[in-house]
Each structure stands twice: as structure tokens, then as C-alpha cells.
A = this chain, B = another copy of it.
Amino acid sequence: MALSPVLINGTWQAPKSPIGEFQAMDPSSKTFIPETFPVSSFKDIETAIKSSLKAAKELRSMNKNQIGRFLEIYAKNILENQSSIVKKAARETGLPEKPRLMNIELPRTVDQLRQTAEAVIDGSWCHPIIDTKLNIRSKYAPLGGPVILFGPNNFPLAFNSVSGGDFAAAIAAGNPAIAKANPGHPGTTRLFAEAALDAVQKAGLPLSTVQLLYHFNSEDGFRLVSHPWVSATAFTGNRKAGLQLKKQAEQAGNLIYLELSSVNPVILFPGAVEERPHQISKELFESCTLGMGQFCTNPGLVILMKNKKQSLFLNSLKNLFDQEPNGYLLGEQVLEELKVSVKKLINNGAELITGGEEWEDQGYKFAYTLLSISGKDFLKNSSALQTEAFGTCSLVVLTQDSEETRKVLSSLEGNLTGTFYTKNTDRDDHLYEELESVLRPKVGRLLNNKMPTGVAVTASMNHGGPYPASGHPGFTSVGIPSSIKRFAALHCYDHVSQDSLPLELKDKNPSGKMWRFIDANWTQEDI
């Protein structure tokens, strides 16, 4: 059977000297899906890089509204093709068509692209700073070369390497994108790239603005992210692969943004559990099982402080976990890694409350898994016990008092989120302050009485955190316009005349609405 073509330089073309081929698998039936995709050789990669350089140059001198228009048309194209995209994604990932893909993830994907389009057209994202007396001006600008995008397996639409937040941000900043499909959902990614190419053409962007390869080996991936013509990489995925790419990119002086892993500690205050044990166990269960636990913000570590309704709470939680998983894992690899992680947790002292093994089924299923350990034992192996078990698997740490809880929090690595559940009626402020001061520097987003799995696409969001949750604690991958700045260089103009300045830095406000920081004040006025 013919290999699916790759998208290079605006043309769907046969891969040059591919080094292998692969098929996606339907996780609900463990059967291969007919379409065959190439594992590209470095020839394809090199052609894509070369093509992108021309696009980078053209994009820089282009009216930014054209980039905004591309994002709008692309969003529209996705909506028009939503049923085929959702159907394909469901087949490749085992995620339910409804509500997850059709009613949640697809609208989110379209919304992100539209918000990004608005940000591009508004232009304020580029943060123009003007000091009139000295006539020095600066703003964020494209990086100069392509951005390489590696998408994760768990969000085939909203974090897809040709339709997700990283993609939108890279393009919004004015960079061409070279996407690598996640091998779990190559067909879905192809459908997106088709819709993107149509939008590229209609918006009149350079044809190499969006390019797609399906797969390549690690060595070629390393060469790609460290290539002297490449500016940046965005990677969301497993920690080991991410750290290898990080090393290669950074040694070459290239930027790389990573989202690696997170156990998202949820700390349950005694007062909270005593006040509403059933409600909290229900909220926790729902958060843990969203997408079969395959969420970056899944609560993998629950710190249960000693309280009078502890047994009741744990029983309630166990009962909820004690049911057949109502969905599939994304694939065999996720299943195997989950088995290994659960084993590792047990080998390091965690006790199984329920689950812990594969669930017999025609598809990839794993029993909802709950483990527990005392605070004292957690502290003996805290590093190993923070292993992310990607799937519905949470470790409950039973702490004796605030001091032990503080020690457990002190031992944590960087995480995307951290959550406190406190009493609604009378929060223990003293305890909150004490524990918050330990947890706050370790997480990107801090929540109170709300589970961390919802990641709103809004300006104030931080989907990021200290290493190893991400590679830089100052950046977010979700939330516009902040996420765009990751893919931008600061360009300063010193003593440059009006007619040679970019639009955003001329005396006249280009739209009359762009926010600019002029002589230390934010304003929408002209100079």
C-alpha cells in the first residue's frame, strides 16, 4: 500500500527515501487502522527546514492581519470538517466522540485558534515599548527560523502539533511551523494539515508556513531540534524523550519549551474532609478519571491529612474507583508504562487499595487504581514515589499532622498545579498560609477547592511550572497572549527613523487600539 504523503513546501508529496512505515492502532479493539504512514529520513527533514527559511523571511515583512486571517480561516475549516476529524481522532485514540472530542476538545481547539487570531490582529501581544525622549523602541518579533512542534498523545485536537496551542502561538509570533505528528494519531494530524494548507493558500501566506512529517527516528529528531537554521522547539510528552531533546537543542543554542510530567498534588485539609467527605471523593474521582486519567493535570498525588472522617472518605473513594473503567487507554505503550509505574510505586512502599492491573477487554484498559502510603514512608522514597503514573492512578499519602504534611510538600519536584481543599465555612488560615508558602514556589497554578483538570484558555492561565514540569517557570503554554511570547525575539530599534520602524513602533498607533508601553505608561494613544 502507498505511504501517506508528507506536507513539504506547500505540496503533499511522497516521502524521500523513508526509513520505515507505521500504522495507527484502534485502542478499543487493538487492531491496526489501514492507512500507512512513513518514517521520514533526514532528507525530508532537511527539505522542510530549507523551505521554512524562505517562509520565515516572507512572513516577517507581511501584514500581520494575513496571519490572523489564516488562523480564522483555519478555525472555520476545522469546523467544516469536524465530523471527519472527530471520527478519525476517536478511532485513533479511543477517546469518545461525544462529549469529549466533539463537544469539548474540538470547540476548544477552534476557540484557541480564534483567540489567537484576535491577538494577532490586535497586535498588543508584541508588547511595544517606546521611550520617546531617547527614541529607543522595542517589541517582540519572529525568531527568524522555523519552530518545531511535537504534540502529545492525549489531546489529538487541542494540543495537536498542527492545530494546538503551541502551533497557534508559534504561527502567531510570525514563525513557520514544522510539525511532527504524534504517532498515535497520524490520520487526525493529516486531516488538520489539509485544512491548514487550504487556509494558508486562502490567506496568502507562504506555502511553507505549515509543514508536516509523521515520524522520524530519535537521531534525526536530535539533528532537527539542534539544526543551526531552526529557532525553537515545543515538546509535550514523556520526560525521557523530552530531556533528550532538551539536551540536544540547548547545546546547539536553540530554544526548547517542554511540558514533561506532573503529579499535581491535591492536599486535603482535615476540616474539608470532615465537612464534605462524599463531595470531595466524588470531585476527586471525576477529576482522576477524566480522559481515563490521561491528563497533564491529573491529580496523581493526594495528600490526606489525618482527620475524623478519614476511613469514611477513603471508603467512599474506593467504592467510586471500584467500577469498570468506562473508556480506553490511548494505546499499548501507555498501558505498558502505566503497569511499570504502578509496579514502581508498589516497590517503593505504596499499598494497593484497589485496581493495579490491566482490565480484561478487547481494547486497552486498566483498572482504576488507588494506592496509599504513610507520610513517613513517602518521605523515605519521595523521589520514586513521585513517578507520574499516566492514567487513572492516584497515590494517597496519609500524613499525621501539619509538620509531616509540610515535609511531604517540601520533598516535591516542580509541578504544573497544586491544590488545597479547605473547609468552606471556616478555612484553617494558619495551616493554609504555612503549607502555601511551601507549595507555592513548586507549582505553576495554585487552586483552592477546585480540581486542577480544567485548564481554561484565558490570559491569566499558567499551564507551566518549575522544572521538571516544564523547562522554564516563566512561560505558559496555554493562555493568550502570554503563550505567544515564547516564540518571539526582542527587537530593539535605537535611533531608527519613523519610516524604517515596524508598524507597531511608529508614532501612530496602527489600529488605534493596540496597547503600548510609552514612556512608562500603558496607552492606546498615538504619540
The answer for the CA separation of A437 and B83 in the assembled complex, in Å, is 43
Q: Are B497 and A136 neighbours in the complex by a CB distance under 8 Å?
A: no
User: Which of B57, B140, B442, B467 is A253 in contact with, Cβ under 8 Å?
Assistant: B467
Q: Which residues in chain A, 118-172, are within 8 Å of chain B measured between CB atoms?
A: 129-131, 134, 136-138, 140-144
Q: Residue on B with the closest CB to A456? A: B134
Taking CB atoms, residues of chain B closer than 8 Å to A142 are 441
Minimum distance in angstroms from A280 CB to a CB of chain B: 15
The answer for the CA separation of A71 and B129 in the assembled complex, in Å, is 25
Known A447-B495, A500-B436: A472·B134 in contact at CB below 8 Å: no
At the interface, yes or no: A367 with Cβ under 8 Å from chain B? no
Taking CB atoms, residues of chain B closer than 8 Å to A444 are 489-492
Q: Which of A282-290, A316-324, A346-354, A458-466 interfaces with chain B?
A: A458-466
Chain A interface residue count, CB cutoff 8 Å, equals 76
Q: Residue on B with the closest CB to A246? A: B250
The answer for the CA separation of A517 and B255 in the assembled complex, in Å, is 27
Q: Are B472 and A255 neighbours in the complex by a CB distance under 8 Å?
A: yes
Q: Which of A193-201, A333-341, A389-397, A473-481 interfaces with chain B?
A: A473-481
Q: Which residues in chain A, 299-341, are within 8 Å of chain B measured between CB atoms?
A: none
Q: Are A468 and B134 neighbours in the complex by a CB distance under 8 Å?
A: no
Q: Are B496 and A440 neighbours in the complex by a CB distance under 8 Å?
A: no
Taking CB atoms, residues of chain B closer than 8 Å to A494 are 445-448, 450, 452
Known A142-B441, A446-B494: A460·B129 in contact at CB below 8 Å: yes
Minimum distance in angstroms from A8 CB to a CB of chain B: 23
Taking CB atoms, residues of chain B closer than 8 Å to A468 are 253
At the interface, yes or no: A485 with Cβ under 8 Å from chain B? yes
Q: Are A473 and B520 neighbours in the complex by a CB distance under 8 Å?
A: no
Taking CB atoms, residues of chain B closer than 8 Å to A143 are 441, 466, 473
Taking CB atoms, residues of chain B closer than 8 Å to A60 are 437, 440-441
Q: Are A466 and B144 neighbours in the complex by a CB distance under 8 Å?
A: yes
User: Which of B251, B474, B486, B488 is A488 in contact with, Cβ under 8 Å?
Assistant: B474
The answer for the CA separation of A490 and B144 in the assembled complex, in Å, is 26
Q: Are A140 and B474 neighbours in the complex by a CB distance under 8 Å?
A: yes
The answer for the CA separation of A209 and B525 in the assembled complex, in Å, is 41
Known A143-B441, A449-B495: A490·B471 in contact at CB below 8 Å: no
Q: A247-B251, A427-B497, A462-B491 are in contact. List 7 more A-B contacts (CB 8 A).
A: A131-B459, A144-B441, A144-B442, A247-B250, A254-B467, A445-B492, A447-B494
16 intermolecular pairs with C-beta atoms under 8 Å apart: A134-B456, A136-B458, A136-B460, A144-B441, A433-B500, A436-B500, A440-B491, A444-B489, A444-B491, A446-B492, A448-B494, A448-B500, A449-B495, A452-B494, A473-B489, A474-B485
